[in-house]
Amino acid sequence: KAGVTQTPRYLIKTRGQQVTLSCSPISGHRSVSWYQQTPGQGLQFLFEYFSETQRNKGNFPGRFSGRQFSNSRSEMNVSTLELGDSALYLCASSLVARGTDTQYFGPGTRLTVL
């Protein structure tokens, strides 16, 4: 079974631009979560989606948004990019959104904001 895929793998943007990242979960998985990883803040939760509904949201400004489609694929969008948004963005999928479920992570999208 194919793992979680994320596209693109690398992105370079300039301040003020916006960016959209894509995540395809493992086949059959209906829950997708997004995390931001930076050297200073570590791994921080962004959003969780299940059946096209956002179930949880982390403490990020409104510039960060996301959505999930009927095929469980998910996208996240960051508008008005800031230098501090440079990070590795990780997507994880699980069967449903239960606490016992294992989240399987994709390889991440490395975003660099210049």
The Cα 38–Cα 107 span in angstroms is 15
**Is 114 a residue that touches other proteins (CB under 8 A)?**
no
**Is 28 a residue that touches other proteins (CB under 8 A)?**
no
**Is 64 a residue that touches other proteins (CB under 8 A)?**
no
In this structure, are residues 43 and 103 in contact, taking their beta carbons and an 8 Å threshold? Answer: no
In this structure, are residues 52 and 68 in contact, taking their beta carbons and an 8 Å threshold? Answer: yes
The Cα 18–Cα 70 span in angstroms is 24
Residue (62 or 99) nearer to other proteins, CB: 99
Which tokens is 73 given?
A: 């694929």
Instruction: Count CA atoms within 13 Å of residue 48 on its CB side.
Output: 16
**Is 106 a residue that touches other proteins (CB under 8 A)?**
yes
Nearest distance from C-beta of residue 44 to other proteins, angstroms: 8
**Is 60 a residue that touches other proteins (CB under 8 A)?**
no
Binding stretches for other proteins (CB under 8 A):
4, 6, 31, 33, 35, 42-43, 45, 48, 50, 55-56, 58, 90, 92, 94, 97-108, 110
